[in-house]
Amino acid sequence: MTDLSAVLARADENMPQSLERLFDLVRIKSISTDPAYSADCRKAAEWLAAELNALGFEASVRDTTGHPMVVGHHAGSNADAPHVLFYGHYDVQPIDPIELWEDDPFDSKLKEFGNGRKVITGRGTADDKGQLLTFVEACRAYKDVHGSLPVRVTILFEGEEESGSPSLKPFLDAHAEELKADYALVCDTGMWDGETPAITASLRGLVGEEIIVKAASRDLHSGMYGGAAANPIQILSKILAGLHDENGRVTLEGFYDGVEETPSNLKASWEAMTGGDVDLLEEVGLSELSGEKGRSILELIWARPTCEFNGITGGYTGQGFKTVIAAQASAKVSCRLVGDQDPEKIRASFRAYVRSKIPADCSVEFIEHGGSPAIQLGYDSPLLTKAKTALSDEWPKPAVIVGVGGSIPIVGDFQKLLGMESLLVGFGLNDDRIHSPNEKYDLTSYHKGIRSWARILAALAKK
């Protein structure tokens, strides 16, 4: 029996107790957004710190101005192995509407889900208590077999993820030295499907801008002025319409600087994953790909930049009609970024383009609404390769590399504040109903999730 197979066997043996521990943690009503549950949040943090200390971590509850953090350190058995920071969150969403729950949201239990599928019921089982325990229980199996962990591990559990993480950045800033590791492991994402594990390797960045086009000093009557006076809705429409060419590409100067073509094997894998279907669109009543032509849906959402119009308003927008020429019109525009696109260069290019379209007697104001670069794990990074192999060894189907069209703030924070890449691996499924009544976590997700982390830790320990 190899080192790893002994650990995996131990993880299997531990399952009944692993399950009881998850039930215990779910029972603690750690709803972060509701002050009535503040004591529960602290209780969850204390429960976790105690578990980590029992596993040989040096762990403690750390106060913040909100709910506490849990930080634990374990030196591991091999000083040459990498140092990883594992992140999860112990807080959960509120449970209303309570009448829609089939089972008590906090009295977690194992339940038959049809077709022999077993699930763990309760709020937070999938988001994120069950997921974070997959890592803790993997550590436990290692500890049980080898008395230590194969790599140096720091653990950070947050208690405010479901309420905007107000304390996170200040905490990372204040404890940067303590928390900095070679890379982060984050377990708060999902599988591609029940048989196919997924590693999230890219997250798009964002530039947000609001533009306010101003024409006349007051609203004008379209009879008295129409045909002679500038109409800011018309100016704005021309500006927006000019931002994409006939092939759906963004026309801003320098927009594609830093955008690289996705490796062809990855593109092929993404096309294979959907088989050309656009289910994601069909779920929301659409059937055709918009945006850049000649690219698959997953590539468009995960690996291509966009320029989207998120809001527009001007003139009379109530019931009926008013023959007015508005004094101003405004739009909110955001670009999703990939690769090495520079948010501030794109903002500057956008503003220059808009200004070039404003008539001499009109003006434009800009309001900045955030900017963050994309995050991308090198597709050929050893971290990714090792994790992919480890996951593929555990699950029926090989692991896939996926992207996220939006941002996951913690990943940006780790990158920006701690200079650390993140490996996002999780075992959630699309039907887990996170944030909704009847949240559940598949027993398979939990069990094979634990085994997956054991495999990943073993892989990371190797040169």
| Residue 390 contacts residue 150 (beta carbons within 8 Å) | no
By C-beta, is 218 or 463 nearer to its own copies?
218
By C-beta, is 172 or 206 nearer to its own copies?
206
By C-beta, is 75 or 404 nearer to its own copies?
404
By C-beta, is 237 or 381 nearer to its own copies?
237
Q: How far is the CB of 274 from its own copies (least distance, A)?
A: 11
| Residue 132 contacts residue 21 (beta carbons within 8 Å) | no
How far apart are the C-alpha atoms of 305 and 374, rounded to whole Å? 10
The CA–CA distances, whole Å, from 155 to 180, 184, 293, 406, 408 equal 11, 10, 43, 25, 18
Instruction: Give the number of other Cβ atoms within 10 Å of residue 317's Cβ.
Output: 9
Residue 265 C-alpha from the chain's centroid: 24
By C-beta, is 13 or 308 nearer to its own copies?
308
By C-beta, is 47 or 302 nearer to its own copies?
302
- 411 SS3 class: helix
Q: How far is the CB of 215 from its own copies (least distance, A)?
A: 7
CA nearest neighbour of 15 among 394, 448, 427, 392: 448
Q: How far is the CB of 437 from its own copies (least distance, A)?
A: 19
By C-beta, is 1 or 228 nearer to its own copies?
228
Q: How far is the CB of 287 from its own copies (least distance, A)?
A: 4
Instruction: Give the number of other Cβ atoms within 10 Å of residue 173's Cβ.
Output: 12
CA-based angle 280:284:287, to the nearest 5?
70
By C-beta, is 42 or 244 nearer to its own copies?
244
CA-based angle 171:175:178, to the nearest 5?
140
Q: How far is the CB of 193 from its own copies (least distance, A)?
A: 17
| Residue 323 contacts residue 223 (beta carbons within 8 Å) | yes
Residue in this structure with the two tokens 């500006």, named with its chain if needed: 239
| Residue 269 contacts residue 400 (beta carbons within 8 Å) | yes
Q: How far is the CB of 192 from its own copies (least distance, A)?
A: 15
Residue in this structure with the two tokens 């750690």, named with its chain if needed: 30
Q: How far is the CB of 221 from its own copies (least distance, A)?
A: 6
Those residues with Cβ within 8 angstroms of residue 243's Cβ, 6 or more apart along the chain or in another chain:
250, 251, 252, 307, 333, 353
Q: How far is the CB of 180 from its own copies (least distance, A)?
A: 28
